[in-house]
């Protein structure tokens, strides 16, 4: 099970909101190579992993990715604080804003909502570790 | 190839010597100098200047040492040691270092929560009131973040 810690893994303090930047950063939240996909990829691959070392590693990395997800969500949230209608239009943020306002929605920068189609869980050690290498080479 | 060899001990739940799970090419990384001193490394996000490649040259402002920073730094070391120990749990030197950091973590965390409130609901044991919902939550912008 999981227990929440009321702190970020690393502090986020953005003095100047910047919705133009938030348009790109949000892909790291809910895009094909984002943190949501990363955490679900590792946490879901655990069940068919036969080796204790790698059960531990997938659990710990998958958990840490949830911490990364929270930091990216915080970045998007702080980048889109106190926007005026002019700032929203100037930044090209209006296509996001019309549907989600300043909510932090798991989506790719293209506007495509987060999809499990962007990850693979095959129940095979080699296939899954190759998937991890392709998605996030830092696991090995 | 007979059946016993064909699965390379896959079913026995341990990593057999003759079954590499993956082959990766990793460029040789210098582990000694040059490297950042620890506070700068924490702020830059890497110990190695050669790996310090910030996107669009946007970098963190220098971190100030405060109870929260101290706790994050110790958690960071403990987390990294855990990932290493997951696959090297017979490395006694690393495990001894891990023990040191677990003790440090407990001490720093208890000091932090006494001053600034709970990090987990377990920290509420013996508290005067249920302060868990209190602002600020971690994602909220705080102009003065000196905790």
Domain that holds residue B49: 34-63
- Give chain B as a DSSP string: --HHHHTTTGGGTS--TT--S----------SSS---HHHHHHHT-S-GGG---GGG--PPPPPP-HHHHHHHHHHHHHHHHHHHHH-TT-HHHHHHHHHHHHHHHHHHHHHHHHH--SSGGGGTT-SS--TTPSPPTTS--S----
Domains of chain B: total: 2
* B7 has a chain A CB within 8 A of its CB: no
pLDDT value, residue A80: 97
**Which residue, B63, B144, B21, is CA-closest to A132?**
B21
Chain B: residue whose CA lies nearest to A82: B141
pLDDT value, residue B24: 77
Place of tokens 């962007």: A118
pLDDT value, residue B60: 80
Q: Print pLDDT tens along chain B (147 aa).
A: 444 455 555 566 666 667 677 777 777 766 666 788 888 888 888 888 888 888 778 788 777 888 888 999 999 999 999 999 999 999 999 999 999 999 999 999 999 999 899 999 999 999 999 999 999 999 999 887 655
Is residue B25 in some structural domain? no
Q: Distance (Å) from the C-alpha of residue B103 to the closest C-alpha of chain A?
A: 18
> Is the pLDDT assigned to residue A87 strictly greater than 50?
yes
Give the tokens for residue B74: 């110790």
Task: Tell whether B113 and B72 lie within a shared domain.
Answer: yes
**Which residue, A14, A26, A20, is CA-closest to A89?**
A20
Is residue B80 in some structural domain? yes
**Which residue, A19, A4, A2, is CA-closest to A86?**
A19
The band of A3, judged by pLDDT with boundaries at 50, 70 and 90, is: very high
Instruction: Tell me the domain boundaries of chain A.
Output: 19-135
Across chain A, what does the average pLDDT equal? 94
Query: ipTM for the complex?
Result: 0.90
Task: Tell whether B93 and B68 lie within a shared domain.
Answer: yes
pLDDT value, residue B31: 65
Task: Tell whether B57 and B98 lie within a shared domain.
Answer: no
Q: Distance (Å) from the C-alpha of residue B137 to the closest C-alpha of chain A?
A: 7
Is residue B111 in some structural domain? yes
Query: Rounded to an integer, what distance in angstroms lies between the CA atom of residue A110 and that of residue B115?
Result: 44
* Residues in chain A within 8 Å Cβ distance of B79: 60, 64
Task: Tell whether B72 and B111 lie within a shared domain.
Answer: yes
Is residue B145 in some structural domain? no
Q: Which CATH superfamily is domain A19-135 in?
A: Ferritin, core subunit, four-helix bundle (1.20.1260.10)
Query: Rounded to an integer, what distance in angstroms lies between the CA atom of residue A88 and that of residue B53?
Result: 30
Q: What pTM does this model have?
A: 0.85
The band of A140, judged by pLDDT with boundaries at 50, 70 and 90, is: very low
Task: Tell whether B114 and B92 lie within a shared domain.
Answer: yes
Q: Distance (Å) from the C-alpha of residue A120 to the closest C-alpha of chain B?
A: 17
A123-135 pLDDT, tens digit per residue, is 999 999 999 988 8
A37-80 pLDDT, tens digit per residue, is 999 999 999 999 999 999 999 999 999 999 999 999 999 999 99
* B11 has a chain A CB within 8 A of its CB: yes
Task: Tell whether B93 and B106 lie within a shared domain.
Answer: yes
pLDDT value, residue B96: 98
Chain B: residue whose CA lies nearest to A2: B120
Which of B14, B82, B132 shows the shortest C-beta gap to A51? Answer: B14
pLDDT value, residue B35: 83
Is residue B73 in some structural domain? yes
Task: Tell whether B73 and B89 lie within a shared domain.
Answer: yes
Task: Tell whether B103 and B92 lie within a shared domain.
Answer: yes
């Amino acid at each position: 099970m999981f227990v929440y810690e009321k702190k970020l893994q690393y502090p986020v303090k953005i003095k100047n909101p910047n919705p133009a930047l938030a348009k790109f950063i949000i892909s790291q939240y809910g895009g094909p190579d984002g943190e949501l996909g990363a955490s679900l990829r590792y946490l879901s691959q655990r069940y068919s992993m036969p080796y204790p070392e790698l059960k531990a590693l997938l659990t710990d990395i998958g958990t840490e990715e949830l911490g990364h997800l929270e930091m990216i969500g915080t970045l998007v949230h702080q980048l889109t604080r106190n926007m005026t209608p002019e700032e929203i239009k100037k930044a090209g943020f209006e296509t996001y804003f019309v549907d989600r306002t300043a909510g932090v929605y798991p989506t790719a920068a293209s506007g495509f909502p987060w999809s499990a189609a962007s990850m693979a869980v095959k129940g095979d050690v080699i296939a899954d570790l190759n998937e991890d290498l392709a998605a996030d080479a830092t696991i090995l | 190839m007979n059946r016993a060899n064909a699965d390379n001990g896959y079913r026995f739940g341990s990593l057999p010597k003759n079954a590499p799970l993956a082959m990766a090419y990793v460029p040789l990384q210098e582990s000694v100098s040059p490297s950042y001193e620890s506070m700068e490394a924490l702020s830059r996000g890497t110990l190695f200047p050669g790996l310090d490649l910030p996107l669009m040259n946007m970098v963190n402002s220098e971190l100030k040492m405060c109870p929260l920073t101290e706790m994050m730094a110790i958690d960071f070391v403990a987390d990294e040691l855990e990932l290493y120990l997951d696959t090297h749990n017979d490395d006694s030197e690393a495990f001894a270092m891990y023990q040191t950091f677990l003790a440090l973590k407990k001490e720093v965390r208890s000091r932090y929560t006494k001053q600034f409130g709970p990090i987990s609901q377990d920290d509420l044991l013996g508290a005067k009131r249920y302060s868990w919902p209190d602002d600020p939550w971690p994602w909220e912008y705080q102009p003065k973040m000196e905790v």
